[in-house]
Structure 1
Protein backbone atom coordinates (compact mmCIF):
# COMPACT_ATOMS: atom_id res chain seq x y z
CA UNK A 1 0.00 0.00 0.00
CA UNK A 2 1.29 3.42 -0.92
CA UNK A 3 0.73 6.70 0.86
CA UNK A 4 1.97 8.78 -2.06
CA UNK A 5 0.69 9.59 -5.47
CA UNK A 6 0.44 7.24 -8.42
CA UNK A 7 1.27 8.10 -12.00
CA UNK A 8 1.26 5.23 -14.45
CA UNK A 9 0.17 4.44 -17.99
CA UNK A 10 -3.07 2.45 -17.82
CA UNK A 11 -1.77 -0.09 -20.33
CA UNK A 12 0.93 -1.10 -17.84
CA UNK A 13 -1.67 -2.20 -15.30
CA UNK A 14 -2.69 -5.84 -15.52
CA UNK A 15 -6.13 -6.64 -16.85
CA UNK A 16 -8.07 -9.69 -15.81
CA UNK A 17 -11.14 -11.38 -17.21
CA UNK A 18 -14.43 -10.68 -15.46
CA UNK A 19 -15.58 -14.12 -14.37
CA UNK A 20 -19.03 -13.11 -13.08
CA UNK A 21 -21.93 -15.28 -14.20
CA UNK A 22 -23.64 -13.59 -17.14
CA UNK A 23 -20.55 -11.71 -18.35
CA UNK A 24 -19.06 -12.29 -21.79
CA UNK A 25 -15.75 -10.99 -23.17
CA UNK A 26 -15.21 -8.38 -20.42
CA UNK A 27 -11.87 -7.47 -18.84
CA UNK A 28 -11.07 -5.09 -15.99
CA UNK A 29 -8.04 -3.09 -14.89
CA UNK A 30 -7.99 -1.74 -11.32
CA UNK A 31 -6.37 1.62 -12.09
CA UNK A 32 -6.59 3.09 -8.58
CA UNK A 33 -7.44 1.04 -5.50
CA UNK A 34 -6.73 0.60 -1.80
CA UNK A 35 -3.31 -0.77 -2.70
CA UNK A 36 -2.46 2.68 -4.09
CA UNK A 37 -3.50 4.43 -0.89
CA UNK A 38 -6.89 5.60 -2.16
CA UNK A 39 -9.33 5.89 0.73
CA UNK A 40 -12.59 7.04 -0.88
CA UNK A 41 -12.91 5.85 -4.47
CA UNK A 42 -11.66 3.10 -6.75
CA UNK A 43 -11.13 3.70 -10.46
CA UNK A 44 -11.52 0.79 -12.85
CA UNK A 45 -11.29 0.46 -16.61
CA UNK A 46 -13.57 -2.03 -18.31
CA UNK A 47 -12.91 -3.35 -21.81
CA UNK A 48 -15.71 -5.15 -23.63
CA UNK A 49 -14.92 -6.89 -26.88
CA UNK A 50 -17.42 -6.65 -29.77
CA UNK A 51 -20.51 -8.57 -28.71
CA UNK A 52 -19.35 -8.57 -25.08
CA UNK A 53 -21.53 -7.60 -22.13
CA UNK A 54 -21.58 -7.28 -18.36
CA UNK A 55 -24.10 -9.28 -16.35
CA UNK A 56 -27.54 -7.79 -15.82
CA UNK A 57 -27.06 -6.94 -12.14
CA UNK A 58 -27.64 -4.51 -9.29
CA UNK A 59 -25.75 -3.56 -6.13
CA UNK A 60 -26.00 -1.23 -3.16
CA UNK A 61 -23.54 1.37 -4.41
CA UNK A 62 -23.71 4.00 -7.13
CA UNK A 63 -21.10 4.30 -9.81
CA UNK A 64 -20.03 6.83 -12.36
CA UNK A 65 -18.95 5.84 -15.86
CA UNK A 66 -17.06 7.70 -18.58
CA UNK A 67 -16.92 6.12 -22.03
CA UNK A 68 -13.42 6.44 -23.49
CA UNK A 69 -14.03 4.74 -26.81
CA UNK A 70 -16.41 2.46 -28.62
CA UNK A 71 -20.17 2.24 -28.68
CA UNK A 72 -22.69 0.31 -26.72
CA UNK A 73 -26.08 -0.14 -25.17
CA UNK A 74 -26.81 0.67 -21.53
CA UNK A 75 -29.75 -1.38 -20.22
CA UNK A 76 -31.55 0.42 -17.40
CA UNK A 77 -35.14 0.20 -16.16
CA UNK A 78 -35.86 -2.37 -18.87
CA UNK A 79 -34.93 0.04 -21.67
CA UNK A 80 -31.94 0.15 -24.00
CA UNK A 81 -30.02 3.43 -24.16
CA UNK A 82 -27.38 3.72 -26.92
CA UNK A 83 -24.14 5.56 -26.17
CA UNK A 84 -20.67 6.10 -27.60
CA UNK A 85 -17.36 7.80 -26.78
CA UNK A 86 -17.33 10.65 -24.31
CA UNK A 87 -20.74 9.81 -22.84
CA UNK A 88 -21.11 9.90 -19.06
CA UNK A 89 -23.44 7.50 -17.27
CA UNK A 90 -24.59 7.64 -13.65
CA UNK A 91 -25.81 4.36 -12.20
CA UNK A 92 -27.79 4.83 -8.96
CA UNK A 93 -27.69 2.20 -6.21
CA UNK A 94 -30.04 -0.78 -6.26
CA UNK A 95 -30.96 -0.42 -9.94
CA UNK A 96 -30.62 -3.33 -12.34
CA UNK A 97 -28.33 -2.46 -15.25
CA UNK A 98 -26.07 -3.88 -17.95
CA UNK A 99 -23.50 -2.64 -20.46
CA UNK A 100 -23.25 -4.20 -23.93
CA UNK A 101 -20.77 -3.57 -26.72
CA UNK A 102 -22.84 -3.01 -29.86
CA UNK A 103 -19.93 -1.90 -32.06
CA UNK A 104 -17.19 -3.51 -34.11
CA UNK A 105 -14.30 -2.43 -31.87
CA UNK A 106 -13.44 -2.52 -28.18
CA UNK A 107 -15.68 -0.59 -25.79
CA UNK A 108 -13.49 1.02 -23.12
CA UNK A 109 -15.01 2.73 -20.05
CA UNK A 110 -13.79 4.21 -16.79
CA UNK A 111 -15.90 3.30 -13.78
CA UNK A 112 -15.61 4.89 -10.34
CA UNK A 113 -17.05 3.26 -7.25
CA UNK A 114 -16.87 3.96 -3.51
CA UNK A 115 -13.93 2.19 -1.89
CA UNK A 116 -16.36 0.38 0.42
CA UNK A 117 -17.65 -1.48 -2.67
CA UNK A 118 -14.22 -2.34 -4.08
Structure 2
Protein backbone atom coordinates (compact mmCIF):
# COMPACT_ATOMS: atom_id res chain seq x y z
CA UNK A 1 0.00 0.00 0.00
CA UNK A 2 1.19 3.51 -0.72
CA UNK A 3 0.08 6.79 0.85
CA UNK A 4 1.15 10.18 -0.47
CA UNK A 5 0.46 13.80 0.36
CA UNK A 6 -0.76 15.43 -2.86
CA UNK A 7 0.90 18.77 -2.15
CA UNK A 8 4.28 17.01 -1.80
CA UNK A 9 4.12 15.62 -5.35
CA UNK A 10 5.93 17.89 -7.81
CA UNK A 11 3.70 19.91 -10.12
CA UNK A 12 4.76 20.07 -13.77
CA UNK A 13 3.54 22.56 -16.35
CA UNK A 14 1.29 21.06 -19.02
CA UNK A 15 3.06 21.99 -22.24
CA UNK A 16 0.62 20.58 -24.81
CA UNK A 17 -0.31 22.91 -27.67
CA UNK A 18 -3.39 24.87 -26.63
CA UNK A 19 -2.82 24.60 -22.87
CA UNK A 20 -2.48 27.76 -20.81
CA UNK A 21 -1.87 28.11 -17.07
CA UNK A 22 -2.18 24.38 -16.29
CA UNK A 23 -0.05 22.21 -14.00
CA UNK A 24 -0.35 18.48 -13.33
CA UNK A 25 0.75 16.24 -10.47
CA UNK A 26 0.99 12.49 -11.09
CA UNK A 27 -0.39 11.37 -7.73
CA UNK A 28 -0.46 7.65 -8.55
CA UNK A 29 1.18 6.32 -11.69
CA UNK A 30 3.73 3.99 -13.23
CA UNK A 31 6.39 4.83 -10.63
CA UNK A 32 3.98 3.58 -7.95
CA UNK A 33 3.42 0.25 -9.73
CA UNK A 34 -0.29 0.97 -10.15
CA UNK A 35 -1.34 -1.81 -12.54
CA UNK A 36 -4.26 -0.21 -14.37
CA UNK A 37 -5.02 3.43 -13.49
CA UNK A 38 -3.15 6.74 -13.19
CA UNK A 39 -4.47 9.37 -10.79
CA UNK A 40 -3.54 12.91 -11.79
CA UNK A 41 -4.36 16.25 -10.16
CA UNK A 42 -4.63 19.34 -12.35
CA UNK A 43 -4.56 22.99 -11.33
CA UNK A 44 -5.85 25.55 -13.82
CA UNK A 45 -5.03 29.19 -13.11
CA UNK A 46 -7.73 31.86 -13.47
CA UNK A 47 -8.23 32.42 -17.20
CA UNK A 48 -6.31 29.22 -18.02
CA UNK A 49 -7.48 26.13 -19.88
CA UNK A 50 -6.47 22.66 -20.96
CA UNK A 51 -6.09 22.06 -24.70
CA UNK A 52 -9.24 21.22 -26.63
CA UNK A 53 -8.56 17.60 -27.52
CA UNK A 54 -9.81 14.03 -27.72
CA UNK A 55 -8.25 10.60 -27.26
CA UNK A 56 -9.43 7.00 -27.49
CA UNK A 57 -9.63 6.34 -23.74
CA UNK A 58 -12.25 7.43 -21.23
CA UNK A 59 -11.43 9.32 -18.11
CA UNK A 60 -13.20 10.16 -14.90
CA UNK A 61 -12.92 13.61 -13.37
CA UNK A 62 -13.78 14.99 -9.92
CA UNK A 63 -13.73 18.75 -9.35
CA UNK A 64 -12.02 19.42 -6.01
CA UNK A 65 -12.10 23.23 -5.90
CA UNK A 66 -12.98 26.27 -7.95
CA UNK A 67 -15.32 26.87 -10.85
CA UNK A 68 -14.97 26.55 -14.57
CA UNK A 69 -16.47 25.38 -17.82
CA UNK A 70 -16.37 22.06 -19.62
CA UNK A 71 -16.30 22.78 -23.35
CA UNK A 72 -17.47 19.98 -25.67
CA UNK A 73 -18.90 19.58 -29.16
CA UNK A 74 -22.36 19.63 -27.53
CA UNK A 75 -21.71 23.00 -25.89
CA UNK A 76 -20.43 24.47 -22.64
CA UNK A 77 -21.35 23.20 -19.19
CA UNK A 78 -20.54 24.92 -15.88
CA UNK A 79 -18.44 22.97 -13.38
CA UNK A 80 -17.80 23.45 -9.68
CA UNK A 81 -16.44 21.73 -6.60
CA UNK A 82 -18.13 18.39 -6.00
CA UNK A 83 -19.01 17.74 -9.65
CA UNK A 84 -17.92 14.42 -11.12
CA UNK A 85 -18.00 13.47 -14.76
CA UNK A 86 -17.21 10.78 -17.28
CA UNK A 87 -15.47 11.86 -20.48
CA UNK A 88 -16.02 9.01 -22.98
CA UNK A 89 -13.20 8.00 -25.30
CA UNK A 90 -13.25 9.96 -28.54
CA UNK A 91 -15.19 12.95 -27.13
CA UNK A 92 -13.55 16.33 -27.70
CA UNK A 93 -13.25 18.28 -24.45
CA UNK A 94 -11.56 21.21 -22.73
CA UNK A 95 -11.54 22.42 -19.12
CA UNK A 96 -11.44 26.20 -18.73
CA UNK A 97 -11.15 28.25 -15.55
CA UNK A 98 -13.67 31.06 -15.92
CA UNK A 99 -13.33 32.32 -12.35
CA UNK A 100 -10.83 34.39 -10.40
CA UNK A 101 -9.75 31.45 -8.19
CA UNK A 102 -7.79 28.30 -9.07
CA UNK A 103 -9.66 25.32 -10.54
CA UNK A 104 -8.44 21.95 -9.23
CA UNK A 105 -9.57 18.52 -10.35
CA UNK A 106 -8.62 14.85 -10.18
CA UNK A 107 -8.45 12.90 -13.41
CA UNK A 108 -8.28 9.10 -13.60
CA UNK A 109 -7.03 7.53 -16.83
CA UNK A 110 -5.88 4.07 -17.92
CA UNK A 111 -2.23 3.51 -17.09
CA UNK A 112 -1.12 3.09 -20.70
CA UNK A 113 -3.05 6.09 -22.04
CA UNK A 114 0.00 8.15 -22.82
Tell me whether the two structures share a fold, i.e. TM-score over 0.5. Answer: yes
CA distance in structure 1 between the aligned counterparts of 2:64 and 2:44, rounded to whole angstroms: 12
What does residue 51 of structure 2 align with? 55
TM-score normalised according to structure 1 size: 0.94
Q: Secondary structure at the match of 1:35?
A: helix
What does residue 106 of structure 2 align with? 110
Q: CA deviation at 1:78?
A: 3.9
Aligned residues: 114
CA distance in structure 2 between the aligned counterparts of 1:116 and 1:20, rounded to whole angstroms: 18
Match of 1:15 among 5, 11, 15: 11
What does residue 67 of structure 1 align with? 63
1:42 aligns with 2:9: no
1:28 aligns with 2:24: yes
What does residue 80 of structure 1 align with? 76
TM-score normalised according to structure 2 size: 0.97
Q: CA deviation at 1:92?
A: 0.2
Root-mean-square deviation over aligned CA pairs: 0.8
What are the Cα deviations for residues 37-88 of structure 1, in whole angstroms up to 9, with x where unaligned? 1001000000000000001000010000000000000011240000100000
**Unaligned 5+ runs, structure 2:** none
**Unaligned 5+ runs, structure 1:** none
